[in-house]
Amino acid sequence: DTGVSQNPRHKITKRGQNVTFRCDPISEHNRLYWYRQTLGQGPEFLTYFQNEAQLEKSRLLSDRFSAERPKGSFSTLEIQRTEQGDSAMYLCASSLGDPPDTQYFGPGTRLTVL
Amino acid sequence: AQSVAQPEDQVNVAEGNPLTVKCTYSVSGNPYLFWYVQYPNRGLQFLLKYITGDNLVKGSYGFEAEFNKSQTSFHLKKPSALVSDSALYFCAVRVNTGGFKTIFGAGTRLFVKA
């Protein structure tokens, strides 16, 4: 399977714990996006990378959230001191970066904060 | 403000009948528009895109979309619905914010009844 993969698929944690998610994009794609999706809503943009550079972050992304893409391949999204409001599906997408920048999505990581 | 609206939370159609899922947008400049479909517990799958040129765009699984610049709409259509088309559909627009990000609508749930 050469699509976007995300791990873990499900994560249950207690409030206040830290969690880290991983995204492996399609190999030739140089852009990588993170989104958050809650029930009944479309994906909300969080941040994106062009190769290893993080180019834009949403104001939704509080200081507790950090993302990295150290070698321009896989990416991690870490949430520190999780809160119940962080419960959501976290989606990763990748693209070639050339217009129109069609994004291809992974299956997502569903986070539940108890 | 740049935005995407899907005015219908849900669309119901009988199998074999034509279907339309509506989308309107508000962006500055010429838009890049997309439709994605999401099945339960899955990531988003790309259906089709509009860049420029013909106003009628054809995509995967027999879907097509009609771009109307004067009405700022990009409605998704299919001549004959299948039960397997039942899913959540998202319209999206790529916006230039200095960087580039994609804004998604809230989604429309399509029910196709046998």
Question: What is the distance between the alpha carbons of residues A12 and A22, in angstroms, rounded to a whole number?
Answer: 15
pLDDT tens-digit map of B8-55: 999 999 999 999 999 999 988 778 899 999 988 778 999 999 988 889
Q: Kindly list the distances between the CA atom of residue A34 and the CA atoms of A40, A85, B29, in Å, as whole numbers in the listed order.
A: 18, 17, 25
Query: What pLDDT was estimated at residue B28?
Result: 81
Query: What pLDDT was estimated at residue B98?
Result: 62
Q: What is the mean pLDDT of residues A63-89?
A: 95
Query: What pLDDT was estimated at residue B93?
Result: 92
State phi, psi for B110 to the nearest 5 degrees: -105, 125
Question: What is the distance between the alpha carbons of residues B55 and A50, in angstroms, rounded to a whole number?
Answer: 31
Question: What is the distance between the alpha carbons of residues B33 and B25, in angstroms, rounded to a whole number?
Answer: 9
- Whether residue B42 and residue A100 make contact (CB cut-off 8 A), yes or no, is no
DSSP, collapsed to helix, strand or coil, labels residue B62 as helix
pLDDT tens-digit map of B89-98: 999 998 766 6
Which residue of B lies nearest to A43 if distances are taken between CA atoms?
B104
Q: What is the mean pLDDT of residues A50-72?
A: 90
Q: What is the mean pLDDT of residues B78-100?
A: 88
Q: Which of A41, A93, A103 sits opposite B106 (nearest CB)?
A: A41
| Residue A87 reports pLDDT greater than 60 | yes
Q: Which two tokens stand for residue A55?
A: 């180019």
- Whether residue B106 and residue A55 make contact (CB cut-off 8 A), yes or no, is no
Min Cα separation A41/chain B (Å): 5
Query: What pLDDT was estimated at residue B99?
Result: 63
Query: What pLDDT was estimated at residue A88?
Result: 96
Task: Decide: A25 and A49 in contact? Cβ < 8 Å.
Answer: no
